[in-house]
Amino acid sequence: MTTQQTEFEAKAAESGNAATERFRESGKTASLAVPKERVSLLANEVLGAVYETIRKHKVTYDEFNALKSWLISVGEDGEWPLFLDVWVEHVVEEVSTEDREGNKGTIEGPYYVPGSPKFESPATLPMRDGEGGTPLLFQGQVRAVDGTALSGAHVEIWHADDNGFYSQFAPGLPEWNLRGTVVADAEGNFALNTVQPAPYQIPTDGACGKLIAAAGWHAWRPAHLHLKVSAPGYQLLTAQLYFEGDQHLSDDIASAVKPELVLSPAPSVDGTGNEVTYDFVLDAERG
């Protein structure tokens, strides 16, 4: 086995278990009081859709047992967060933000860590000496739907490095590498320096990878920046931004690309990298 394979195989277990642990710590499980009527309605409809599929395609015992075995391995590999965020979250995001007038958002994914180091704008994200990837100056303004500049808005950003690794979910990276919270100025303007991430392949050696291989799909997401943009009194915007020309914009494994979220960076004036401007528009909290 080559070193590269060894490192890659370290990745599914490491990232899956870290993502499972993060979810447990996130506080999201504290609000699991879904009313009995909703549980019954949703569970019945999901099971009904399963029965319909089984009858329609005359699912065999071999196929049923393959499913059982695969579902067991999703848990063993810590990949429930990965599975749900890749194949389900995008529809939840769609219905929960459908009446917003401001910025389109998209899924959070499994690799968010709250509490990243905070920087006044203009900022440079924490990164290693000689961090790989084209330097990127990302700037813009945070506004309300009515055009009001949102002074001191927070632009929280996290993304993979040039090899597709997220800090705290892959071994050997500094804790907050390529993660930070940038505080916009009095006019809501922010500017931050980072590097352009590379397209990202979800781990192929865990249960999700087995499904992808068994179905003959591919494991790629387009290169992306993750963001959470917030200001007091406004709805939190969770988004991702992509890059024009990326070959996976139209076949993202996580179905999380929207045309409004695609950046078109241009070479920076000083010739050292790329720069791009993108403004965020937040919806007021509903009274």
Residue given tokens 């278990």 in the structure block: 17
Q: Which is nearer to ligand MBD, 86 or 144 (CB)?
A: 86
| 201 Cα distance to chain centroid | 13
Q: What torsion, rounded to 10 degrees, do the Cα atoms 14, 15, 18, 19 define? A: -160
| 286 Cα distance to chain centroid | 25
Residue given tokens 């720069």 in the structure block: 275
- Which of Fe ion, ligand MBD, none binds 107 (CB below 5-8 Å, type-dependent)? ligand MBD
Q: Which of 264, 228, 260, 225 is nearest to 243 (CA)?
A: 264
Q: Return the residues of window 107-136 that contact Fe ion according to CB under 5 A.
A: 109
DSSP per residue over 255-277, as a string?
----GGGEE--EE-TTSSSEEEE
Q: Which is nearer to ligand MBD, 19 or 231 (CB)?
A: 19
Smallest separation, CB 253 to ligand MBD (Å): 8
- Which of ligand MBD, Fe ion, none binds 110 (CB below 5-8 Å, type-dependent)? ligand MBD
Q: Which is nearer to Fe ion, 109 or 126 (CB)?
A: 109
Q: Which residue is nearest to Fe ion (CB)?
A: 109
Q: Which residue is nearest to ligand MBD (CB)?
A: 109
What values do phi and psi take at 178, rounded to 5? 60, 35
Q: Return the residues of window 74-113 that contact Fe ion according to CB under 5 A.
A: 109
Contact letters for Fe ion, residues 152-191 (x by CB under 5 A):
----------------------------------------
Smallest separation, CB 193 to ligand MBD (Å): 21
* Chain contacts with ligand MBD (rule: CB under 6 A): 82, 85-86, 107, 109-111, 200, 202, 221, 254, 256
Q: Which is nearer to Fe ion, 94 or 185 (CB)?
A: 94
Smallest separation, CB 192 to ligand MBD (Å): 19
- Which of ligand MBD, Fe ion, none binds 85 (CB below 5-8 Å, type-dependent)? ligand MBD
Q: Which is nearer to ligand MBD, 107 or 178 (CB)?
A: 107
HSE-up (13 A, CA, CB side) for residue 3 = 0
Q: Which is nearer to ligand MBD, 65 or 247 (CB)?
A: 247
Smallest separation, CB 231 to ligand MBD (Å): 24
What is the SS3 assignment for 73-141? Answer: HHHHCCCHHHHHHHHCHHHHHHHHCCCCCCCCCCCCCCCCCCCCCEEECCEECCCCCCCCCCEEEEEEE
| C-beta neighbour count of 247 within 10 angstroms | 10
Q: Beta 200-201 vs 154-158: how paired, if at all?
A: unpaired
* Binding residues vs Fe ion (CB under 5 A): 109
